[in-house]
Amino acid sequence: MAATVETDNQLFCHADRVWREIRESPCVLALRLAAILGSFGLLARLFLLIISGNSLIGPLSGVGDQGRYQTLADNLVEGRGFAYAGQPTALRPPLYPLFLAAMRFSFGSHRFLTARCFQFLAAIAMAYLCLLLARRLFGIEAGVLAGSFALAMPTLAFGVTELQSEALAACVTLLSLCFLVAALDGEGLAVSCMGFASGMAALLRFNSLLLLVVGTAVCLRYLRNLRSLLILWLAAGLVLAPWIIHNAWAFHGRILFSSQGGVNLLQGVLSPQGRAQSDEPDRVRAAVGWSHTDIETNSTTRLRYPGEDVLDRQARAAAIQGWKEMDWSAAVRLVAGKLMCFLFSTDQLLDTTSFSPKQRLLRGAGVVCYWIVLALAVLGWSRLLKRERPAALSLGFCVLVVTVAHLPFVMNTRLRIPFFDPLFTVLAGGALSFLLVKYESQRLSPA
């Protein structure tokens, strides 16, 4: 009990210190802009939360995989296990279905609204983490601007009301990057906390395992301590072990982590944006005789197909054949298109034929806002490179590794958001604070 009280006092003192720094900041313009953006972002998120309410699919939703996540959650609550139609599955990471199952078990018919409220709180926590990381890298003015960007940025705001893993994954991924920077500062528990957060992120989204690659590189390059590397992987392994053991038992050792790689690799050739627009699922069915939507169901039709270990091998073989049959010019165009979708969100501008005109307009406006933040983030990273080279190179390496690792697979805005968008708000806050402080100093200086 005494330890808990002491921890609470430390958290309160830390928040009080941050608030005191904000009040004492000389850059009034930055604080006013941050207050306006943050208030607008909070109100917009509250509006989205209210109109989405307790429905499974909100009125502005892109639908996506929400129904499939909920099917897994229902199967868990009803004692059918992590499976579809009795067939074990490793297509979806386990943590978000477990979260939805806990919401149903605890709140019953109000589970969707409660899940969205929890994600709303997680988004506020993520904005506070953006504030702390930007404050650490650039100063308090950058912190408040980064926090306001995180609240107001459309690509981060829409994920709060979607019953998918993006909102929680963005928070946990940013937490891992915060611990990465703390590890560079030499803080004792930072490496183990980074491993724990990276493992949690990987159980929310399989591709977040790349955070461990980034952490490994930082340990080898800057910490130069084998002990820190072992601690990183041990902490992550403790988190990932139950899921790996479950898969080893369910699939008799043929799948240990995920069965998503094959179908994702095949979609990366045939439907590289993975957005189920037009005839994209039909292209996958033509190649292997099934699509992931055909096996993520409790219908008896699922029993027509073999286990996911077999399906994964089929998809991988078809994907490799697809790449072999592609000439160089087509491959270059394909990769270039993927990069444009992943880094510049062109999929939200050019591939939204199934959405209403109002939704297409909102998504287009969100892309423009993202472009502004991205441009500021590039400027912020260049300034960070001059201020703290190890932190800048580590964060830049994270962006590079995540981007390159996705090139053979599906690449779209949804996959990018948890990795990059919170980090970009941090860097954008650093750039904008520099510009505003410079402007105020010039305006107030004597002629």
Q: Does residue 142 lie within any of the structural domains?
A: yes
Residue 211 · residue 170 · CB < 8 Å: no
Read off φ and ψ for residue 83, nearest 5 degrees: -160, 160
Q: How far is the CA of 45 from the CAs of 125, 130, 260, 421, in angstroms?
A: 14, 17, 31, 17
**Alpha carbon distance 396, 177 (integer Å):** 12
pLDDT in tens, 384-417: 999 999 999 999 999 999 999 999 999 998 899 9
Query: Is the per-residue pLDDT at 5 higher than 50?
Result: no
- What is the sign, positive or negative, of the torsion defined by CA atoms of 367, 369, 372, 375? negative
For the range 381-389, what are the long-range contacts, defined as Cβ-Cβ under 8 Å and sequence gap of 24 or more? 381/427, 383/138, 383/430, 383/431, 383/434, 384/137, 384/138, 384/427, 384/430, 387/137, 387/138, 388/137
SS3 assignment, position 447: coil
Among the residue ranges 30-34, 62-66, 376-380, 440-444, the one predicted with the least confidence is 440-444
Length of the chain equals 447
Q: Does residue 5 lie within any of the structural domains?
A: no
Pairing of strands 83-84, 87-88: antiparallel
Percentage of residues in the chain having pLDDT higher than 90: 62
* AA identity, residue 11: L
**Alpha carbon distance 159, 152 (integer Å):** 12
DSSP-derived letter for residue 351 is S
* AA identity, residue 311: L
Q: Does residue 226 lie within any of the structural domains?
A: yes
**Alpha carbon distance 369, 300 (integer Å):** 45
Number of domains the chain contains: 1
pLDDT in tens, 204-239: 999 999 999 999 999 999 988 889 999 999 999 999
Residue 193 · residue 376 · CB < 8 Å: no
pLDDT at site 426:
97
Helix, strand, coil fractions of the chain, as percent rounded to 5: 80, 0, 20
Q: How far is the CA of 435 from the CAs of 111, 373, 374, 431, 444, in angstroms?
A: 44, 14, 16, 6, 14
* AA identity, residue 320: I
Q: Does residue 276 lie within any of the structural domains?
A: no
Q: How confident is the model at residue 67 (pLDDT cuts 50, 70, 90)?
A: confident
SS3 assignment, position 8: helix
Q: Does residue 340 lie within any of the structural domains?
A: yes
Higher pLDDT, 57 or 147: 147
Q: Does residue 47 lie within any of the structural domains?
A: yes
- Report how far apart the first and last C-alpha atoms of the chain are (Å, whole number): 60
pLDDT in tens, 259-292: 999 999 999 898 887 665 556 677 888 888 888 8
Q: Does residue 67 lie within any of the structural domains?
A: yes
Query: Is the per-residue pLDDT at 316 higher than 70?
Result: yes
Mean pLDDT of the chain: 88
Q: Does residue 103 lie within any of the structural domains?
A: yes
Query: Is the per-residue pLDDT at 7 higher than 70?
Result: no
* Phi-psi region at 226: left, alpha or beta (left = phi > 0; alpha = psi -120 to 50): alpha
Q: Is 218 exposed, middle or buried (0-12, 13-18, 19+ CB in 10 A)?
A: buried
The contacts of residue 439 (CB under 8 Å, 6+ apart) are 29
**Alpha carbon distance 8, 25 (integer Å):** 26
Q: Is the pTM of this model over 0.85?
A: yes
- Domain enclosing residue 182, as ranges: 28-269+305-441
Closest CA to 279 of 271, 267, 269, 287: 271
Residue 133 · residue 426 · CB < 8 Å: yes
Q: CA triplet 335, 410, 274: central angle to 5 degrees?
A: 120
